[in-house]
Structures are given as structure tokens and as C-alpha cells.
Amino acid sequence: MIVRTTLALLAALPLAACVGDDLTGPAATACRAAIAAQVGRGLSAVTVVTMTETQAGAEVQAAVTGAEAPWTCRTDAAHRVLDVMYSGSEGAL
């Protein structure tokens, strides 16, 4: 019984980290624009999939139409973009 409860709690942790994070908030919006600029596409080609807020800022995962893997963007606490990275093979870009 304890093992099942522990496993259920562990399984819920990643979901709990995303609860309440706004996929259209300032960090997500800044990252979406930065990713679109990086790939030379319009905003309509970029969809924010997840956003996790941290004490230092936020980490945003986004899908880009035609990309084989998601893009990752990090912001500081003021929602300024720190970096944008493609998580797949750059040869596939």
C-alpha cells in the first residue's frame, strides 16, 4: 500500500510542477517570439507546450511546425529571454 501511494505521488510530481503556469503569460510570450525569430518563422508556427516557473525565471518548451523536436527557451525572473536551444539534431533543421 505504501509503495503504491509513493509511486502515485511521484508520478504526479511533473504534473504538479506545471499546474498554474500560464502558457500565454509573459515568459511564454517572450519565448515564443524569440523562438520564432530564431527559426525565421511567424508566431503561428510556434506553439508553447509546457512552461515551468522557477525562482530564477522560467523554462518553456515549444513545438515549431515542421521541427522534429521541441525548442527550449529560458527566461529570467523579469521574463527576459536568456537562451533558446533546439533539442533535436541541428542537421534536421
Per-domain residue ranges of the chain: 2-92
Q: Region 85-90: what's the mean pLDDT?
A: 88
pLDDT at res. 74: 97
Tell me if residue 61 falls in helix, strand or coil: strand
pLDDT value for 4: 44
C-alpha atoms less than 13 angstroms from C-alpha of 84 in its C-beta half-sphere: 19
pLDDT in tens, 4-61: 433 444 444 444 344 346 899 999 999 999 999 999 999 999 999 999 998 899 999 9
Q: Kindly report the CATH class assigned to 2-92.
A: alpha beta
Q: CA-CA-CA-CA torsion for 39, 44, 47, 53, nearest 10 degrees?
A: 80
